[in-house]
Amino acid sequence: MAPITNEQELQKTEFRWAMIVTGAVTVLFAVIGISSFVMALHPPSHVESIDPATVSQSKEFAESNLGTSVDPDGAVTVRIIATQFAFVPRCIPVPQGKPVTIRVTSPDVIHGFLIAGTNANTMVVPGYVAEVRTVFGTAGDHLMPCHEFCGLGHSEMWALVRVVPQAQWQTDADGKARCDISR
């Protein structure tokens, strides 16, 4: 950089830098825009409310209705309760390579989960049903820890997502799929 001879020179340099900044910010917009929309993610944003106090009495989140179910039209829905200090159910089977809708809510405090190695991630806020739509690519077990502090038992709160290859995918007569974490 040449020694500064006068203030206008300085302003010219500043202006050039401002152009570089504008360019950098534009690139940033592009990267973020593309990553958000080409990847077509569905963050839980449809604001569906539910009374947390009576979740335990609801039909949709009744004990028998939790877990993975395949509807007659083939749609896969996973219903999960995040409660102190466990996910119900703790083992969640899902078919590989098929769209899965996860519906989850909390009857008590704020929880959250991520499924390691995937982009499934949501907060679970009492008062709302969080809905995550995703497709699981790799078969095998994925850890699903609670990722928001929910009380003293928080560290032990995790579930397992078992991605099953389509050939081995099975459901019972009611369309429910189950799995077990061996002791």
Partner 1 sequence: MTYRADRLILAHFGVAFAAFALAILLGAWQMTVRSGLEPAFTSPEAYFASVTAHGTIMGYVMPTLFIMGFGYFVSVTTLDRPLPSLRLAWAGFWLVIVGVAMALPAVFSGKATVLYTFYPPLTGSVFYYLGLVLVVVGSWFWVGLMIWAMAGWKKDNPGKPVPLAMYGNVANAFLWLWTTVGVAVELLFQVIPASLGWTQTIDIGLARTLFAWTLHPIVYFWLLPAYIVFYTIAPRAAGGRLYSDMMGRLSFLLLVLYSLPVGMHHLFMDPEHGTGFKFLQMMLTVLVTVPTLLTIFTIGASMEIAGRLRGGKGLFGWIGALPWDRPMVLATCLSFVLLGFGGFGGIINMSYGMNAMIHNTSWVTAHFHLIYGGTVVIMYFAIAYEFWPKLVGREPLSLKPIRLQLWMWAIGMVVTTFPWHILGLEGQPRRVATFDYTNPMIAHWQNWTIVSMIGGYILLTSGLLFVWNLLTLYRGAEADRQMHYAVAVYPPHRVPSALNGFDLCNGLVLFLMLMAYGYPVAQFFFIKDYPALVHRVDLGN
Partner 2 sequence: MSETSPLTPGPIGSDHPASDRSWRIWTSVFIAGFVLVSLVIGFVILPWRSESGVDPFTAICRALGLPGSEKIPPDPGAAKASAPASNVTWTIETNRLLSNASAAKGTALAKDTCGACHGEDGKSTDPEQFPNLAGQSQAAIFKELADFQSGDRKSDIMAPIAQALTREQMADVAAYYAAQKPDDLRAADSAVMLKVDLLAREGDPKRGIPSCDSCHGPSRSGPEDAPLLLGQSAPYIEKQIGNFGSQTRHNDVFERMRTIAHQLTPEEAHALAIYYHGMPASN
Shortest gap between Cβ of 46 and partner 1 (angstroms)? 7
Shortest gap between Cβ of 167 and partner 2 (angstroms)? 25
| Number of residues located near partner 1, criterion CB under 8 A | 69
Look up tokens 């405090």; give the residue: 109
Measured in whole angstroms, the distance separating CA 139 from the mean position of its chain's CA atoms is 18
Q: Could you tell me if 113 and 157 are in contact, meaning their C-beta atoms sit under 8 angstroms apart?
A: no
DSSP states of 48-60 as a string?
Answer: EE--GGGGGG-ST
Name the binder of 35 from partner 2, partner 1, none, CB < 5-8 A by kind. partner 1
Candidates 7, 71, 73, 174; binder of partner 1 (CB under 8 A) is 7
Name the binder of 119 from partner 2, partner 1, none, CB < 5-8 A by kind. partner 1
Residue among 32 and 75 whose Cβ is closer to partner 1: 32
Q: Is residue 19 a contact residue for partner 1 (CB under 8 A)?
A: no
Q: How far apart are CA 108 and CA 56, in angstroms?
A: 10
Q: Is residue 130 a contact residue for partner 1 (CB under 8 A)?
A: yes
Shortest gap between Cβ of 78 and partner 1 (angstroms)? 16
Candidates 99, 127, 137, 165; binder of partner 1 (CB under 8 A) is 127
Contacts of 78 (CB under 8 A, 6+ apart): 67, 68, 69, 92, 94, 100, 101, 102, 103
Helices (H), 38-181: none
